Amino acid sequence: MRLDTPIRLVALELPNRAFLAPLAATSDIPFRRICQTLGAGLTYVEMLSAEAVLRRNPRTMEMMARHRDERILGVQVTGSTPEQVARAIAFLDAEGFDAIDVNMGCPVRKIVGAGWGSAFLCDPERITRTMAAGRDATARPFSAKVRIGFTRAEQNVVEVTARIAAAGADMVTIHGRTRDEDYGTAADLEAIARGLRSARIAAGERRVVCVGNGDVFDSESAYRMLDVTTADAVMVSRGALGNPWIFRDILAGRSLPVTLGEWAEVVGTHLALHEETYAGKTIAPILARKHLRWYARGFPGVKRLRDRFGYVESMDEARSLLREFVAGLPASTERDELRESRGSDPKYDMDRRLDRGTEAGAAVASD
């Protein structure tokens, strides 16, 4: 099976099997559109708090915005009780999202402390009740994203995915780590395989789309995920940060070179989309900083640019830094991802060490 082939999610025809994860504080309109342009077959609005959705929290309503060019778009939600999550799902259904996912895997401390995200893994019965209530609330493609367990000693992915499938989910995505594991631990593909096998058995004759997630950084690792886990599709998370070309590579089945000129064009386009989305907002350059820092790798002398990108005060300043850097290298220079460690990820600092960076987390903090 190839990842560039279409796949059907109930009535939703997806153009390929390479999906972008709903990345907290990252999966906004500009980032989604860049990834869609480069081939992502399914993208999501980042994780939302069911409570914030039901309150019509202004920030949450802004995050639910959809650009007219986004032909297919999913949304992800998490919450405390089956009833709360189901009510939020009914609202999101009415808003016209093409697919709805329940987050049962977010590891951020305050999310888990509120009983959301990975906290579901500690209460399998709540998983069943939440998925059943959610299934009743929408006829749209409905899914859940989980981890293989709360701790390494308490892996329960086989039970969890069976419950999700038996409750009527159309898709299940498994991230191959436990809640307490960081990126220093490799994603456990065998555990993903066990969980997906369990989901298929529980679904019986009904089709459930099975998705593997974790350590997908290029075409090779995407196909390894596919081969080891027997997944139907892969979901890309960190591998897309500063590297939306990963979708093009996955669909091509090989890593293709990115020249300095191609890199600058995509970064420039991302800046333009960012400015369009956040027009007139003083926070625009602040929100762009993390993306710029993620883009700034793989070229000689790029560390200084990355440091400077972390302090930009305007979009014009960001463009000026980009032009200055590009002018200093031959246009034919190719990006070399191996120049930098893939284990180095500022998003980890944002989400886990600093315990911030999620809209749902902000909702908890404001209560």
- Residues that are catalytic: 106
Q: What is the largest CA-CA distance in the chain?
A: 59
**Are the C-beta atoms of residues 78 and 103 closer than 8 Å to each other?**
yes
Handedness of CA 76, 217, 172, 156 (dihedral sign): negative
For the chain, the helix, strand and coil percentages under 3-state DSSP, each to the nearest 5: 50, 15, 35
- Phi-psi bin for 70: left (phi > 0), alpha (psi -120 to 50), beta? beta
Residues 6 or more apart whose Cβ sits within 8 Å of residue 353:
none
What is the token pair recorded at 208? 């459930």
Q: Would you say 312 and 321 are in contact if contact means Cβ atoms under 8 Å apart?
A: yes
The secondary structure of 30-95 as a DSSP string is HHHHHHHHTT-SB-EEEEEEHHHHHHT-HHHHHHT---TT-SS-EEEEE-SSHHHHHHHHHHHHHT
